[in-house]
Amino acid sequence: MADVSWSGMDELYTALNELPGTLSDEVTALARSSATEMVAALKIAYPRGKDHKGKRLLNEIRWGAMHLADANHITERMIGQYHTSVRVVNTSAYVWAFESGRRKGRHGTTPARPTFIPIRARFQREYYDLVVTLLEAKGLAVSGDPES
């Protein structure tokens, strides 16, 4: 009669059970760090209180709206046992007009100045690369493109 004996199965079982929680904590920390860096980059990229012609922004004068640079906020929400959503949101009243421009408005036309989306795309790509590196360091195989 043949006999098979496994040593270390209890340790392997424990490690596999702890893996989702450990990975979730580390990936969430990466997401928080990436979001914080993105907010800092947006703060530098957005103009402070002036439009493309150097005039004070009308919305700021009339309604005391926040500067585009100061209106970026990080929101975080748990969506399950192992999933945390980390988002960067710009809450300025005129962010859409700045990013997409205005045509034939009451105060003339303003050009589109895409800032948020290109910066978000760069930081999202860097975040994906960091997550892949983390997973591969844990001995997991990673294939495919996360953006597809």
Q: In this structure, is residue 142 part of a structural domain?
A: no
User: pLDDT higher for 27 or 108?
Assistant: 27
Mean pLDDT of 105-126: 86
Write b or e for each residue in 56-91: b if 16 or more Cβ atoms lie within 10 A of its Cβ, otherwise e: ebebbeeeebbebbebbeeeeeeeeeeebebebebe
Q: Dihedral of CA 52/46/112/63: which sign?
A: negative
Max avg pLDDT among 32-41, 65-74, 127-136: 32-41
Of 120, 115, 122, the closest CA to residue 47 belongs to 115
Q: In this structure, is residue 17 part of a structural domain?
A: no
pLDDT of residue 118: 95
Query: Mean pLDDT in the chain?
Result: 81
Q: Is the pLDDT of residue 13 over 80?
A: no
Q: In this structure, is residue 147 part of a structural domain?
A: no
Q: In this structure, is residue 4 part of a structural domain?
A: no
Q: Could you give the number of structural domains in the chain?
A: 1
pLDDT band at 34 (very low <50, low <70, confident <90, very high): very high
| Contact assessment for residue 38 and residue 47, using Cβ atoms and an 8 Å cutoff | no
Of 54, 95, 87, 101, the closest CA to residue 71 belongs to 95
Dist. CA 137–CA 9, nearest whole Å: 22
3-state secondary structure of 77: strand
Mean pLDDT of 64-82: 81
Q: Could you report the per-residue pLDDT of 41-60, keeping only the tens digit for each?
A: 998 888 765 555 556 655 44
pLDDT of residue 51: 54
3-state secondary structure of 37: helix
Q: In this structure, is residue 110 part of a structural domain?
A: yes
Q: In this structure, is residue 35 part of a structural domain?
A: yes
pLDDT of residue 54: 58
Q: In this structure, is residue 146 part of a structural domain?
A: no
Dist. CA 105–CA 123, nearest whole Å: 33
Is the whole model's pTM more than 0.85, yes or no? no
Q: In this structure, is residue 79 part of a structural domain?
A: yes
Helical H segments across the chain, by residue range: 9-45, 58-63, 95-100, 116-137
Domain that holds residue 68: 23-137
